[in-house]
Structure 1
Amino acid sequence: MRRLLLLAALLTACTPRGAPSEPTGEAAPAMLSEAEVGALAGAYGKLGGSLGRQDHAAGLAALDAAAAIDGSNQAIDYLRAQVLAAGGRGEEALAVLSRLDAAGSLLVPQAHDFPKLGGLEFDRLVAAARARLPAPKSARAFTLADRALIPEGIAHDPRSGTFFVGSIYKRKVVAVDRAGAARDLAVADATNGLYSPLGMKFDARRNSLWVASAAGPEMQGYVEAEHRGKAALHEIDPSTGQSRARYPRESAGRHLLNDLVIAPDGALYVTDSEAGEVLMLRPGPGAQFESVAPAGEFGYPNGIALSDDGSVLFVADFVRGLTAIPLATRQLRVLPHPRGAATHGFDGLYFHRGALVGVDNGAGGGRIVRLELAPDLGSIVQVKVLEAGHPDFLIPTTGVLDGDSLVYIANSQLRSFEGGQIFPPERLFPVQVLRLSLR
């Protein structure tokens, strides 16, 4: 989540993410080698550093290096247009978007990605891309009327049918019953120490709701001196909302516990995006976080998934792309993938029937992608876009598997802040949660 806000600030809304332009068809796609995906990660690392310095020229050079490795990846050109626009080179940015248009790209230019552009040509490019989008496949699962929720995480109890949705702005978790009626379940107070809820998972074995929370200026009551870099993992009673346990991240430095997954043996694996680290926690009295991938190993780890047998972790990261971590060895491996496939921007990440399903909340209005894995889980062999540019999309974030469906937040509205204040109600929308069949 915070990757969106951080990079938006660095580039006046420049968030590099994937594009619905992956190879399709029956022929086996050409693959990037391990050396190439490693070099691509290096280019993205240089890009991130240059954006931190607001050095647009260096950012463009990094994108040149990325394009030299995988020139068929349309997300690179979309990002190039963002960097050009942010650097005041609007005509050149429009020329890049026009090139994508001529190629029949499904990437719909987003106003929040190009705040310095506008006018008739930009509007024409947006309309042309929208006209090429396939018919939506997702259906509405339920709607939350509270426009100021700004949700990011969602979980599901299959026994009761209850969904749980976290509110970044209001620092609370709401429970939604089978009929779609919502109630406040857990609200931040002095007893639970809840910050902005991000990733959430329901633990059927313990009948618990696990919530990763992190402090940020977009949450109510934020005080820089008190909250900066604070994060915690919470175990919550899913019926009463009472706190059962709280595990704060207390090591030195800034932390942002972002997403989590529960292993078959009950261990929890969590991404710490600010620290660039992947952690493991075995719940219980005196439990401490253990590092699985050390701090600084990742640029900004976000979504995390686990193979059904609990043997391999998968981590989504802006710099590295999709990384596999066999837990027996803890040796990180960036997954080789087909040329043209954008793998550097997934927020939610899920393992489903031998494949990864990712929520990409960026370039071109958002998409849901299925990434088929090789039998040894060591590479991505095919990429299929399941949904792109749905009319409800406004920065989709995360979802939860419900059988063979993904139920996900379609319009988080994460960028709905200006001057430290949330947008007024008339600029916000009811929250739409969608259901997409993965069959």
Structure 2
Amino acid sequence: MIRRIGLTMLLLACAAAQAQQPQQEESGDAITALTKRYQEQPQAHYLAYLLARFNADAGQQEAALDWLGKLDERGWDLGINPRDFPSLQGNEEFRAIKIELQRQQQRRERGQREVLVNVAGLIPEGLAFDGQRQRYLIGAYNRAQIHAVDLRGKVTRIWASDEALSVLGMTVAADGHTLYAAVNPTAARRAAGDKAFVLLLDLADGRELRRLPAPEAGYLNDLCLLRDGRIVASDSANSRLLQAAPGAAELRLWDEPGHVIAANGVACDDARGAVYVAVYNGISRVDTGTGAAELMDTPRGAAVGGIDGLYLDGNSLVGVQNGFGAGRVLRMRLSGDGESLSRVETLESGIVDLNEPTTGALTPTSFVYIANSQIWKWDDQKQRLRDGQRAAPIMLRRVPLR
């Protein structure tokens, strides 16, 4: 969800994510911060992509084209998101660079279509796998609903509310009986003072078991569960983590040093005593005992920032990347101590089904993900589809991991 939370404010580590500033002023602040970072990390080409975006948003077309030209020269292979750079669409130079970047985009298709989810008007976000019942669970970004989809595509609504809510990250407890979901009020309800919470559902009958409030959260994004029963959740609006011990009355701020800027997907790793957090510039590792956070080292040239959903699969992390470029699915091998990434490989990229991929779920042998979330079609402020847009059926793709 990195695009929707407001990347500009997160880049500047500003807690007041709801503040309203003119777009050009926001872009100017981001350009200053990103330029400084790029001078320090000239091999981090994703920063050049972001600089191109923010310069285009600020009306500085020549600067935007210069940055895109640098990407072309340096072999950028993540492509261009078709919804980026709207102000440049009529520019001949941009069209030429775009064609070249699309030509050199990495294309990989290791998986296949798993199931088509046809729920009228559904804009999905979170995804989980119910192994006991062999079905997928899909949270609705644009309504207070959770649907179950079996392997043949049959859809059953298992939870709904009349409240103005969005369902984001979800996970199934180790016992297979309970679903945990991060739920946020809509923008208007947040402005009125409503707070986010974690929803607990009985998977046998969809019965609502409990709501665990998160009074300090600006915007709950994702969550994971530790073996000791703790819930860890990311607060993307305030760039931080929250947690709740078993029996706690609410989620509270996890006191850590603040390296989780643009906190997004989270993955719990009991074996290594860590929680991995997707941040705008990579993966942050948080020690489960001390709360100390540190940005993980990655192989030179590997772009692992801008990941939305993040999942632990044995000695690897699997991520759905949509923060810059056209979107792809990655597998990142952990070092023996789990403190760095030793190898990064692309699992899926540049295929026709990808249209703002967001999150996924691990099964015993594979990774299944939402290939075409269409989040961009939804207007958060007006709480409806944008003019001229229709929600297409949702494609779930499956990538083998064994």
Q: What TM-score, normalized by structure 1, do the two folds share?
A: 0.81
- Shift of the alpha carbon at 1:52? 7.7
| Contact 1:264/1:309 (<8 A) preserved | no
Partner amino acid, structure 2, of 1:270: A
- Shift of the alpha carbon at 1:162? 1.1
Q: What TM-score, normalized by structure 2, do the two folds share?
A: 0.88
1:196 equivalent to 2:166? Answer yes
Partner amino acid, structure 2, of 1:233: V
1:318 equivalent to 2:280? Answer yes
The match for 1:293 among 232, 245, 255 is 255
Partner amino acid, structure 2, of 1:430: P
Inter-partner Cα distance in structure 2 for 1:262 and 1:387: 27
1:93 equivalent to 2:64? Answer yes
For residues 327-406 of structure 1, the aligned pairs below 5 Å read: 327-406=288-367
- Shift of the alpha carbon at 1:389? 2.8
Inter-partner Cα distance in structure 2 for 1:310 and 1:202: 21
For residues 18-417 of structure 1, the aligned pairs below 5 Å read: 44-45=11-12, 54-119=25-90, 120-132=92-104, 133-146=106-119, 148-189=121-162, 195-205=165-175, 207-217=177-187, 222-223=188-189, 225-226=191-192, 230-251=195-216, 255-284=218-247, 287-294=249-256, 298-309=260-271, 311-318=273-280, 321-417=282-378
- Shift of the alpha carbon at 1:227? 5.2
Inter-partner Cα distance in structure 1 for 2:323 and 2:239: 21
Inter-partner Cα distance in structure 1 for 2:272 and 2:321: 24
Inter-partner Cα distance in structure 1 for 2:325 and 2:56: 16
- Shift of the alpha carbon at 1:329? 2.6
Aligned alpha-carbon RMSD (Å):
2.9
Inter-partner Cα distance in structure 2 for 1:52 and 1:95: 29
Partner amino acid, structure 1, of 2:215: E
Deviations 1:120-179 (A, max 9, x none): 443343333333332422311111123521111000111211110001102210000121
Between the two structures, name the one with larger relative contact order (CA 8 Å, sep ≥ 6): 1
- Shift of the alpha carbon at 1:211? 0.8
Change beyond 3 A, Cα 1:295–1:324:
closer
Listed as ranges, the gaps of 5+ residues in structure 1 are 17-43
Partner amino acid, structure 1, of 2:35: D
Inter-partner Cα distance in structure 2 for 1:162 and 1:374: 33
Change beyond 3 A, Cα 1:237–1:46:
closer
Deviations 1:381-408 (A, max 9, x none): 2222222233222221111111231111
Partner of 2:4: 5
Partner amino acid, structure 1, of 2:98: V
Deviations 1:31-85 (A, max 9, x none): xxxxxxxxxxxxx547999998525444333222222222122211111110111
Listed as ranges, the gaps of 5+ residues in structure 2 are none
Q: Secondary structure in 2 aligned to 1:408?
A: strand
- Shift of the alpha carbon at 1:362? 2.6
| Contact 2:139/2:146 (<8 A) preserved | yes
Identity of aligned residues (%): 30
Partner of 1:19: none
Inter-partner Cα distance in structure 1 for 2:190 and 2:250: 26
Inter-partner Cα distance in structure 2 for 1:424 and 1:83: 25
